[in-house]
Structure 1
Amino acid sequence: MQESVTQAATTDQSQEHQPGRGRLGPLLCWAVVFADIGTSVYYTPGILYVTVGKLAGFFVLLTTFVFILLTLKYAEVSARFPQGGGVVSVAAHALNPWFGALGGMFILVDYFLTAALSCLSGIFYFSVVFPVLGPNALWITIAVLTLLGILNWIGITESATVSLIGALIAFVSDLAILVTVFSHISLAEALHLFASMFAGNAVTPVKLLVGFGGAFLAFSGLESISQLSPVMKTPRKKVAGLALLLVVVTIGLTSPLLTTFSTLLQPQEATDPLKNSQLVSLLAGHWGNIWLQSEVAISASALLVFASNTAIIGAYHVFMALSRMEFLPSFVLKRNRLRGTPHYSIALATGVPIVVLLLVHGQLDLLGDMYAFGLLGAFSLTCLGLDVVRWRERHAARNRAAALAELRESQQNGHVSREAELALTAESGLALNGHHGPQSSRQSTHGEIVESSERSYEGWRGLWYTIDFYLGVVTTFLVTLAWSINLVAKPLATAFGGSVALLGMGVAFYNYRSHRLMGRLPVPVTTIEDHLHGSILAVLTANNPHNEDVIRTALQSADGRPVVFLYVGEPRVARTPRLFEVVDPYLEDEQAKELFGKAESQARRAKISTRRYVYRPYEPGTIARVWQIVHPHDTIVPADEVPRIEDINPDRISYEISPGGGMQVAHMVKRW
């Protein structure tokens, strides 16, 4: 690379690691998540009461324990996928790009219904103060959604500071309601109230399953923490963990109790079609006064509309990410000349919720039922993807442990075998990529899954990782169970969510097929968890006119062996991303995507069964770190790049003219 590029990368690195520069700490991350998930308590009691009656509070409390397990997984997702995207990134990297597209459809269903449900619920709460709005809530909601779409077209941006103010007001209001209720009833009366939930309500296996599945509505919004990864301070796992700890405490203190009191202390209101959607505010008025009731109604209404806007922003960013992944048409990315905003994406993110509201005639309980498909589908796919990543890490770690055991045995016997040398080299690779090296892959921002070398599975730490792994598997089972229950128990949700997902996947397949017919194959970046012995590493660099010569040489030299295509992109441009933006350099690098597409097309013709595509923005030592992970037999680079490649120690270097006589390429051969 040229000296100017190196200087730019160094500057970028220094800016990237400057603490607190325009990024969110635990408190602001909590605020953004609570401003989303904290609104669920305003509509969950009424919707859940329609399904399970007085047991609504019990099921929210029961599901809280699974919610806590979910937060552990989402904290890790936020750290592993710093580019954001949540379920889209997890599923695409861990399973398959098509699962990433499916995850995108699930989260879009979730966002569509969040926008519709939150906005409609916000108007219902506002009608507590202005009752004249109640009969016209549907049309007012449509007008508000249209206004939010226009504001996003103009260029309104989410503000974590505004979220903090709203979240604090909502949390203090929730606490004020609970303090007011407890000031009127004794602890004995409260315990008797909880016991009365089960009076005349036998918890049958069917009711237990249906209630468990439905109560996840109380925790919708948790997925937003993974969308904040690009704007988090580092270390991300610590920030996300502290933020979610605050979420667990604040939601755990408020949601189960407010659901219980709202439904048990107001049985008449809970059965009234209109008041059923205003239960928390009415609870404040019944046990407090009109001022508390009005304050809760106004703050709830504002926060719900704010959550609706957040869903619109999240939806159009997912649209754009799926388009950059080439699953959706490119027009989705187009920006208007006047404001520079993605008007087609915004129109879709706003228009679909409006259509949904019209289809269900503004019935809040139907929207709540429909919510389950996308929410639990996204939860399930995220959990499964993370389990797959963890399993791969454990498998790779066991292989390394076996190699290191061989090394120790060889050392004790006074000689070092070829296998032991391999283990020793692998260990040096760990130093480069693990916690003890200067370049920790946890700090990368290109979206690569954390390498297995970052974890030690020995001792107490290894015991915790084992427990954490199996807790994660249990979490996946419970969430998938809840989703499966809802698929059967809520056919409307299944019909709507399934239709949207199928339509979206149909568009994705058509778009993919169109690109293929035009000779361009959409290729996702892949990850390397372990060595690929005997492989070919083809190094491609930005703006290099000889990249295609490297591709042809690598494929001709492969002879059936695995080929890893490494594209070293331009240095990252230091900037603070917007909230909910998916920041993946590869998705924005058209040259890299086009080159990988050509490589994939030629690799298929050459019948190369194992091929990987790795993308890394340039920084010093980039090629060497990938080289250490892959352990290739042959590294192929343009001949003029050899002097600029650092920290690679091949056994020999040979040169040849590339197929077709295009240029001279170098083979850097290593016998590991």
Structure 2
Amino acid sequence: MVKKLKRLLIGRPLKSNELQGQKLNKLKALAILSSDALSSIAYGPEQILVVLMAIGAAALWYSLPIALGVLILLVALILSYRQIIYSYPHGGGAYMVAKENLGMNFGLIAGGSLLIDYILTVAVSVSAGTDAITSAFPAFHPWSVSIAVVIVIIITVLNLRGLTESATFLAYPVYLFIIAIVGLILVGMFRVLTGQVTPEVNHTFGQPVAGVGLFLLLKAFSSGCSALTGVEAISNAIPNFKDPAPRNAARTLIMMGCILGCLFIGSVLLVYWYGLVPMADQTMLSQLAESVFGRNVFYYIIQAVTALILILAANTGYSAFPQLAFNLAKDKYMPRPFTVRGDRLGYSNGIITLGIFSIILIVIFRGQTDRLIPIYAVGVFIPFSLSQTGMIVKWLREKPKGWVNKLITNLIGAFICYLILIIFYITKFQSVWITLVFIPIVVFIFHKIHQHYLAVADQLRIDFAQKIRDIKATDNVIVVPIAGITKVVEQSLVYAKSLSDNVIAVYVGQSQEQIEKMEREWKEWDPGVRLVTLHSLYRSIVTPLSKFIDTVKWKADKNGATVTVVIPQFYTKKWWQRLLHNQSGVMIRAVLVRHANIVLATVPYKFKR
């Protein structure tokens, strides 16, 4: 029943060689990786005006030079991340840049910040979209948290089905949003330029306003930079692109930057020309749509696609979080299960983990986005700053052709990013202080995980020069499933050879490269045991192993021999360390226990630290 439900929700499992079919082209990638950045048009310009309104409507003209400053930062970030894409084509973004150029601790700070930020992306986006729904239908407001949780579950299942299916679904609302906002800006400008609407400019452009100082302008600028969230997602998810992945990712990044820049500047200009001011009960985008079109069908279309893209902006996190978790896990700083591809070739453990933590945040904060957004913004600009700094170090160290222009780009970007971080911590310390506590805790956890894996590797490492000892054998058939050449495997083979001289070691590989590597190492080790390698197209260990054992048992039954499966199993010293390992031995035993007349033996290997 559970298996049928899983197939219904997620679909049939895909073979490993079908991975290329799950890659994204530029148009689908733009939809699935840019929804977070593009959705910020719904609140980015408004954040600038909210700060300026502390002085009064006369100060709103400052929104234009501030918007220009945000655009300059956007250009610097796009150019920087384009360089990152070509320099680090395997993904990882700010984590890889900081790790390679600033050291592992800075890389872990960037990686930890991004992981937290992607969880916040889902929680904030879904909560904001839910607010839009309950605003249109107030009767649903008491169930806003439940609605948000259901939406997260739906998006999680959609991503578990695979990148191409989620991208196909997402493409329509994202491109409808782009078309709708472009139409709004063009019609609004046309009406102004043709004299159909008299611009309600609140104050003469360029005239100083009393009370507006550098601090206020910097605060407004940093608030407007919330429109840049999600810019880094493409550089984290390069492996999700079709070949040539770096070039396609770079072009998608440029497309996203151009669209985001045009929509941002166009909306700020229109808001200024129409003399709109922030209102408690109506968003700036809603006011703008009403001013341009009135309360007609076009207005409601804009509201609908805005609510939809705010919800679907969460999918940026679902695309980037699993890939970043994979890179951290590959470096042994996150649990190894995050490196495993699921039935649909996505990193399912990362997708499910993101969904669970997002739901927890939504429930804890009751879907109140205003409490999450400041932490969300800081979580973005920490990796922004570190990636810019890392690229500066890279250019100074390597000095490739044209490095001076690249260095200047990153210097400008780093200066602005650090300035924004300082402003955030000064002006919104009460909201963002938790990042100064939580990020070090996350980095500490990364190091504890890494120390555990190093200890495990040290205890399992085997000396090829020491040959395995000979044991008196009998006629039984002994099958020993192995995942590599380690001390626990050596211990299991010693035990197996004590039972019979007919011992077969079985290795299940997910690729031909893995199998060839194992065969080479086995030949070098030469334990005196025959090795059988099996290729698993569906990345399953248990299924091909079970079929092989059935074949061995059928032959053994003819000779009256007994088949014994010796399962190597190590046990960690602490309970929580078990969560960091794939429990392959447990799964093998759970399946083989159903086979009749097969003896199962577990050879335990206990870690001392």
2:107 to 88, 96, 100: 100
Please report the RMSD computed on the Cα atoms of aligned residues, expressed in angstroms: 4.0
Letter in 1 for 2:252: A
Q: For the structure 1 residues 316 and 31, does the alpha-carbon distance in structure 2 shift closer, same or farther, using more than 3 Å as the test? A: closer
Letter in 2 for 1:294: Y
Paired residues of 1:383 and 1:476 also in contact (CA < 8 A) = yes
1:292 to 289, 295, 298: 298
1:385 to 390, 395, 403: 390
| Residue 218 of structure 1, CA deviation | 0.6
Paired with 1:66 and 1:340, the residues of 2 have a C-alpha distance of: 36
Alignment of 1:490-505 (within 5 A): 490-505=428-443
Letter in 2 for 1:382: S
Q: What does residue 185 of structure 1 align with?
A: 192
Q: For the structure 1 residues 499 and 198, does the alpha-carbon distance in structure 2 shift closer, same or farther, using more than 3 Å as the test? A: farther
Q: For the structure 1 residues 71 and 168, does the alpha-carbon distance in structure 2 shift closer, same or farther, using more than 3 Å as the test? A: same
Q: Find out whether 1:203 has 2:203 as its counterpart.
A: no
Paired with 1:547 and 1:73, the residues of 2 have a C-alpha distance of: 47
Paired with 2:87 and 2:104, the residues of 1 have a C-alpha distance of: 17
Q: For the structure 1 residues 518 and 253, does the alpha-carbon distance in structure 2 shift closer, same or farther, using more than 3 Å as the test? A: closer
Q: Find out whether 1:545 has 2:554 as its counterpart.
A: no
Q: What does residue 35 of structure 2 align with?
A: 35
Q: What does residue 314 of structure 2 align with?
A: 308
Q: Find out whether 1:354 has 2:359 as its counterpart.
A: yes
Q: What does residue 65 of structure 1 align with?
A: 72
Q: What does residue 213 of structure 1 align with?
A: 222
Paired residues of 1:369 and 1:492 also in contact (CA < 8 A) = no
Q: What does residue 602 of structure 2 align with?
A: none
Secondary structure in 2 aligned to 1:83? coil
Paired with 1:271 and 1:264, the residues of 2 have a C-alpha distance of: 17
Q: For the structure 1 residues 288 and 71, does the alpha-carbon distance in structure 2 shift closer, same or farther, using more than 3 Å as the test? A: same
Q: For the structure 1 residues 90 and 283, does the alpha-carbon distance in structure 2 shift closer, same or farther, using more than 3 Å as the test? A: same
Q: What does residue 407 of structure 2 align with?
A: 469
Q: From the CA coordinates, give the structure whose radius of gyration is larger.
A: 2
Letter in 1 for 2:116: V
Q: What does residue 419 of structure 1 align with?
A: none
Paired with 2:123 and 2:407, the residues of 1 have a C-alpha distance of: 36
| Residue 248 of structure 1, CA deviation | 3.1
Q: What does residue 44 of structure 1 align with?
A: 44
Letter in 2 for 1:349: L
> How many residues are treated as equivalent by the alignment?
449
Alignment of 1:553-564 (within 5 A): none
TM-score of the aligned structures, taking structure 2 as reference length: 0.64
Q: What does residue 256 of structure 2 align with?
A: 247
Alignment of 1:640-651 (within 5 A): none
| Residue 298 of structure 1, CA deviation | 1.6
Is there any run of 5+ residues in structure 2 with no aligned partner, and where?
Answer: 1-16, 54-59, 461-515, 526-535, 539-609
Paired with 1:239 and 1:153, the residues of 2 have a C-alpha distance of: 24
Letter in 1 for 2:405: I
Q: For the structure 1 residues 221 and 335, does the alpha-carbon distance in structure 2 shift closer, same or farther, using more than 3 Å as the test? A: closer
Q: What does residue 271 of structure 1 align with?
A: 279
Paired residues of 1:126 and 1:301 also in contact (CA < 8 A) = yes
| Residue 81 of structure 1, CA deviation | 1.4
Q: Find out whether 1:256 has 2:265 as its counterpart.
A: yes
Paired residues of 2:39 and 2:309 also in contact (CA < 8 A) = yes
Q: For the structure 1 residues 240 and 300, does the alpha-carbon distance in structure 2 shift closer, same or farther, using more than 3 Å as the test? A: same
Paired with 2:327 and 2:147, the residues of 1 have a C-alpha distance of: 31
| Residue 190 of structure 1, CA deviation | 4.8
Paired residues of 2:44 and 2:223 also in contact (CA < 8 A) = no
Q: Which 10-residue stretch deviates more, 245-254 or 34-43?
A: 245-254
Q: For the structure 1 residues 231 and 296, does the alpha-carbon distance in structure 2 shift closer, same or farther, using more than 3 Å as the test? A: same
C-alpha deviations, 1:200-249, integer Å up to 9, x for none?
46431111222222222111111122134224456556544433333333
Paired residues of 2:112 and 2:442 also in contact (CA < 8 A) = yes
Q: What does residue 366 of structure 1 align with?
A: 371
Q: For the structure 1 residues 146 and 166, does the alpha-carbon distance in structure 2 shift closer, same or farther, using more than 3 Å as the test? A: closer
Secondary structure in 1 aligned to 2:320? helix
C-alpha deviations, 1:616-670, integer Å up to 9, x for none?
xxxxxxxxxxxxxxxxxxxxxxxxxxxxxxxxxxxxxxxxxxxxxxxxxxxxxxx
Q: For the structure 1 residues 81 and 493, does the alpha-carbon distance in structure 2 shift closer, same or farther, using more than 3 Å as the test? A: farther
2:131 to 124, 129, 145: 124
Paired with 2:248 and 2:156, the residues of 1 have a C-alpha distance of: 32
Q: What does residue 155 of structure 2 align with?
A: 148
Secondary structure in 2 aligned to 1:520? helix
| Residue 102 of structure 1, CA deviation | 1.8
Q: Find out whether 1:514 has 2:452 as its counterpart.
A: yes
Percent identical across equivalent pairs? 20
Q: For the structure 1 residues 483 and 29, does the alpha-carbon distance in structure 2 shift closer, same or farther, using more than 3 Å as the test? A: same
| Residue 94 of structure 1, CA deviation | 2.4
Secondary structure in 2 aligned to 1:362? coil
Letter in 2 for 1:377: I
Secondary structure in 1 aligned to 2:458? coil
Letter in 2 for 1:108: L
Q: What does residue 225 of structure 1 align with?
A: 234
| Residue 367 of structure 1, CA deviation | 2.5
Letter in 2 for 1:87: A
Paired residues of 1:178 and 1:258 also in contact (CA < 8 A) = yes
Q: For the structure 1 residues 126 and 282, does the alpha-carbon distance in structure 2 shift closer, same or farther, using more than 3 Å as the test? A: farther
Paired with 1:170 and 1:271, the residues of 2 have a C-alpha distance of: 23
Paired with 2:413 and 2:139, the residues of 1 have a C-alpha distance of: 45
Paired residues of 1:169 and 1:299 also in contact (CA < 8 A) = yes
Q: For the structure 1 residues 319 and 194, does the alpha-carbon distance in structure 2 shift closer, same or farther, using more than 3 Å as the test? A: farther
